[in-house]
Amino acid sequence: MADGGVSLILASGSASRRAMLTAAGVPFSAESPGVDEDAAKASLAGSSPRDLADALAELKALRVSARRPGALVLGSDSVVALADGTLLDKPQSREEAADHLRRMSGTRHELWSAAVIAEDGRPVWRHVEAARMHVRPLSYSFIDRYLDVEWPAISWCVGCYRIEGPGVQLFSRIEGSQFTVLGMPLLPVLDFLRTRAVLPA
């Protein structure tokens, strides 16, 4: 942290979120929030994709903040919404991943990423933004070859892709920040961390 700043804890086990903060030179530690995401999503049924991402990010931040007084705790979450409004969860099997990819083929979906920072058990900052993901038409043979390479690594990925890897081959066009696609609106997070002296201004 910068002189006089506070510590930052990432409330996530996500490798991509840890990698983003590390690459940006942000000092932080990581701690799993221990949130039952399925139960949380069930309790939030009917929420918009934006509000769902925001609520899940807040839940993670608050869970860790309650046991780490004095620290800034960053929670983040991503939600994928198909053009028909269907929300996709992380695939539970290779077969389900193939089904998700076939449903996305030749269509556009939105990926919402939210970040919430909590301090002493209450949210003090939040930001939510979306990327629009245009998936090119995918042949069944491409999907099979893709999953040969990427399964089970993408079992942790909503949308079945790692944009920093072979997942980039799924798309004809992406509108929005690559950081958002990776799972966190990084630039607004960095702006806030500078205001709190976690990073030098």
Q: Are 94 and 147 in contact (CB under 8 A)?
A: yes
Interatomic CA distance for residues 123 and 64, integer angstroms: 12
The answer to whether residue 51 is catalytic is no
What does the alpha-carbon distance between residue 182 and residue 185 come to, in Å, rounded to a whole number?
9
Distance of CA 90 to the CA centre of its chain: 12
With vertex at residue 190, the alpha carbon angle to CA 186 and CA 195, rounded to the nearest 5 degrees, is 150
| Number of helical (H) and strand (E) elements in the chain, helices listed first | 7, 7
Nearest to 115 by CA among 1, 200, 26: 26
Catalytic residue among 77, 84, 148, 191: 77
Tokens of 116: 């919430």
Task: Report how far residue 157's alpha carbon sits from residue 163's, in angstroms, rounded to the nearest whole number.
Answer: 10
Phi, psi torsion values for 61, nearest 5 degrees = -60, -45
Q: Which residues contact 25 (CB under 8 A, 6 or more apart)?
A: 199
Q: Would you please indicate which residues are annotated as catalytic (active-site) residues?
A: 77
